């Protein structure tokens, strides 16, 4: 619910930013709204790993999670940059979106490998 709450604020922040022609404060607020679900995701992922253990399939599939760790940092830099140059901030927000356009297949590939290993009794 924590994650969904913040995601529900994205349309409001987007509209406010657009209505004010990408003014500094709305762009900073938009960054905060993007940062909140990124942090909520990190919390959810961390608690899931703590619940199931470091040796769980999920923890092994997540690995170092570079994209997940870089996203909040880019949002923080974007929020700070929005008071200097809002277009730099928007570019950083777009960079995060582009990073996530590339599908993250770590979890799926990990579970597919386990399924294949379990279906082949000779291994």
CA 63 remoteness from chain centre? 15
Dihedrals φ, ψ of 14, to 5°? -65, -45
From first to last of its 123 residues, what are the pLDDT tens digits of the chain?
888 999 999 999 999 999 999 999 999 999 999 999 999 999 988 898 888 888 887 777 777 788 888 999 999 999 999 999 999 999 999 999 999 888 766 666 666 766 777 776 554
Look at the block and give the residue holding tokens 């140059």.
Answer: 85
Distance, in Å, from the CA atom of 72 to the CA atom of 62, rounded to the nearest integer, reads 17
């Amino acid at each position: 619910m924590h994650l969904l709450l913040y995601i529900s604020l994205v349309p409001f922040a987007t509209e406010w930013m657009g209505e004010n022609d990408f003014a500094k404060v709305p762009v900073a607020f938009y960054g905060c709204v993007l940062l909140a679900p990124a942090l909520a995701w990190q919390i959810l992922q961390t608690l899931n790993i703590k619940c199931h253990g470091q040796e769980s399939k999920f923890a092994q599939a997540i690995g170092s999670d570079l994209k997940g760790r870089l996203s909040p940092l880019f949002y923080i830099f974007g929020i700070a940059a929005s008071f200097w140059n809002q277009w730099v901030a928007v570019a950083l927000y777009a960079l995060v979106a582009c990073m996530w356009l590339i599908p993250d297949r770590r979890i799926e590939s990990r579970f597919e490998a386990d399924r294949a290993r379990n279906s082949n009794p000779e291994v």
